[in-house]
Structure 1
Amino acid sequence: MEKESFDFQIERIVSVVRDSDARIVGLQFPEGFKRRSPGIAERIEEETDVRVIISGNPCFGACDLDVALLDKVDLLFHFGHAQLDDSSLESKVYFIETRSNADIAEVVKKALPELKGHKIGLITTVQHVHKLEDACSILDSGGKECVIGIGDSKIAYPGQVLGCNFSAARSEECDEYLYIGSGEFHPLGVSLSTGKRVLVADPFVNGVREVDPSRILRQRSAVIAKSLDASVFGIVISSKPGQERIELAEKLKSLAQKHEKQAHILSMDLVTPDQLLQFKVDAFVNTACPRLAVDEVGRFNAPMLTPQEFEIVLGEKEWENLVFDEITGE
């Protein structure tokens, strides 16, 4: 039997359920783990007396709890993310971080000769944070100085970055960064947030590559350019617990009015191109998940700006100050 690549903590979940008075349990998974949900649900039901309901809604992070399902269940197990700084749901929601069992040693050793600087910042997602000290030892033995930064209150572990928060990367001075994991968005965000070189060490393909933020910067510059003549803006907010930034939306609306522009606040749960299709504005401003404007670029019926880009359009900031939008803590 193939060894499980991720730890879904089934025994812990069964123990929590058995020790509770729960009768109905909810499971919520990000897209990459959804295919595992039927087997996990079946095992929980076989080993306990509860009924399981699996969330079929998209899940983009710990900020994106299925609040509708939460009202229907006694316990909710949220997979793939670490808890954010909101403790109001601690008694009902359990965050199953789903750590990776992948060996990172070989790919970190492969990255060593590609690192140009001496002081290296180590960063990753929650799936690999337990391997950062091992990676640090490898870098130290290769003559590098290793730093693992502490993020703000939204960051659960040293060295951890989210798709909307790169504070751990900015907390320590270093020459460049080594990101352990797969995907492009997190290391790209670090590169744009810090202005430093970022190498990706992907343990799943045993490959090393350097991220290039130039394509994203060209895309974002094009979105800004298309919005320069806009006079009517739709400021989008999400009702998701960890994404709702109503105060920011109100601030941006006031800023638009200061520049004699029209701005309307649009509230919804899931923000998609289809949801916005009927709103006839010159440009949108996204205050929901920061990834939306970048991941869905070109799919909206009007340019989708980040709050920082909106300020550039209004002349409040310079183009050179373009950075990724983030949802930060204290």
Structure 2
Amino acid sequence: MKNQFDFDLEKIINIIKEKHFKKVGLQFPEGFKRQAFSVSQMLEERTGADILISGNPCFGACDIDISLAGKVEIMFHFGHSKMGNFDNVVFIETRSNVDVLPCVKTALPLLAANKIGLITTVQHIHKLDEVSNFLLEHGMEGITGKGDLRVSYPGQVLGCNFTAARLDCDEYLYIGSGIFHPLGVAIATGKRVVAADPYLNKAIEVSPEKFLRKRSGYIAKSMDARVFGIIVSSKTGQNRIDLAKKLVQIAGEHGKKAQIIIMDLVTPEQLLAFKVDAYVNTACPRITIDDAERFHVPVLTPQEFEIVLGERMWDALVMDEILEDKMQELL
């Protein structure tokens, strides 16, 4: 199978054959579901196993399809590095084969410091040594930081965790597509971030000001809110029930009403029927950001809720993160 991503099919085939697995599950994130049928067909042809494909949404390693995993002997989860311990789940990281050096070369004129923190997703993590050597040839030092237990590799950032970016550097170079990860690093660290996209061969300086203004608008709209719905995810890697309980307690201390709502897939449509003035999201932090305009009332992060309650200053606004060593605590 020719693809710019490595699905590690030979490894999967060997595991199935060696263990004589007859019932196999596959779980793909949204971006890889187009390849699901071709991957499944090849595995069936090469191993004779019965393949079941998860049709549920998948947004990260925190989003394992437990139901499917319970129906098969082994399940292969694509696109993310390992998070948590599962008896019969194998994580296939699906590394990208794209050459990242052209986009790093494009980013060179935007880099203004000598000590550069290198950050990326698991798809390009194996390219960071190459990037570091390239920067060294141009008089710059590229360094990586080790994140918490939620992070598998130095320099790896997740949509909910930027701990690998907390290191002694002057600015950051992010390798990858999209703006969410580098934006999160810029806000989490307060340092300059240049994002280099290897698929488009483009590089930009990330500016968090517009994003912060928009989030401040949601906070302002929630200042007069009296009733809050505290969203908790039932997904094992996103469940922050202790944090939600703490938020309910703090809300009560400030004369606000708050009720916990537990759900698996958090969508604006599922929350439309509840009568609340605003929501506070303790599930995947990206829900608050990516779907903000689709909700019928403001959806706040826990830290933004603190601002509404007067527990945090406006200028202390940070990105919401799920931290492995203090997962249920406020930052």
Q: Do both proteins adopt the same fold according to a TM-score greater than 0.5, normalized to the shorter chain?
A: yes
Q: Deviations over 1:41-82 (max 9, x none)?
A: 001111112111111111100000011111111111000000
Pairwise CA distance, 1:4: 2.0
Match of 1:101 in 2: 97
Correspondences of 1:38-57 after superposition (within 5 Å): 38-57=37-56
- 1:196 pairs, out of 191, 195, 210, with 191
Q: CA deviation at 1:209?
A: 1.1
Task: Give the SS at the match of 1:113.
Answer: helix
Deviations 1:148-184 (A, max 9, x none): 11111100000000000000001x1111100001111
Question: Which residue of the partner structure matches residue 181 of structure 1?
Answer: 176
Matches within 5 A, 1:1-330: 3-84=2-83, 86-87=84-85, 89=86, 91-170=87-166, 172-330=167-325
Counterpart of 1:122, as a letter, is L
Matched positions, count: 325
Q: Deviations along 1:200-228, whole A, 9 cap, x unmatched? A: 11111111111121221111101100000
Deviations 1:10-34 (A, max 9, x none): 1110111111242211111111110
Contact kept? 2:280, 2:300, Cα under 8 Å: yes
Report the Cα distance in structure 1 between the residues aligned to 2:292 and 2:92, rounded to whole angstroms. Answer: 31
- Which letter maps to 1:148? T
Give the percent of matched residue pairs that are identical in Structure 1 and Structure 2. 58
Q: Deviations over 1:119-172 (max 9, x none)?
A: 1000000000000000000111111122111111100000000000000001x1
Q: Distance in 2 between matches of 1:115 and 1:57?
A: 41
Residue of structure 1 equivalent to 2:329:
none
Q: What TM-score does the superposition give when structure 2 sets the normalisation length?
A: 0.96
Code of the aligned partner of 1:105 = L
SS in 2 for 1:298: helix
Q: Which amino acid in structure 2 is aligned with residue 104 of structure 1?
A: V
Matched to 1:117, the amino acid is A
Tell me, yes or no, if the aligned pair for 2:110 and 2:205 is still in contact at 8 Å. no
Report the TM-score when normalising by structure 1: 0.97
Q: Distance in 2 between matches of 1:258 and 1:118?
A: 48
SS in 2 for 1:189: helix
**2:328 aligned residue:** none
Unaligned runs of at least 5 residues, structure 2: 326-331
AA at the equivalent of 1:169: A
- Opposite residue 257 of structure 1, the aligned amino acid is G
Name segments (4+ residues, structure 1) moved above 2 Å.
Answer: none
Q: Give the whole-Å Cα distance in 2 for the aligned partners of 1:65 and 1:55.
A: 10
- AA aligned to 2:144 is I
Counterpart of 1:128 in 2: which secondary structure? helix
What is the CA-CA distance between 1:118 and the residue it aligns to?
1.4
Aligned-partner Cα distance in 2 for 1:299–1:204: 28
Q: CA deviation at 1:110?
A: 2.1
Amino acid of the structure 1 residue aligned with 2:126: H
Which AA in structure 2 matches 1:5?
Q
Deviation (angstroms), 1:83 = 0.6
For residues 278 and 68 of structure 1, the distance between their equivalents in structure 2, rounded to whole angstroms, comes to: 27
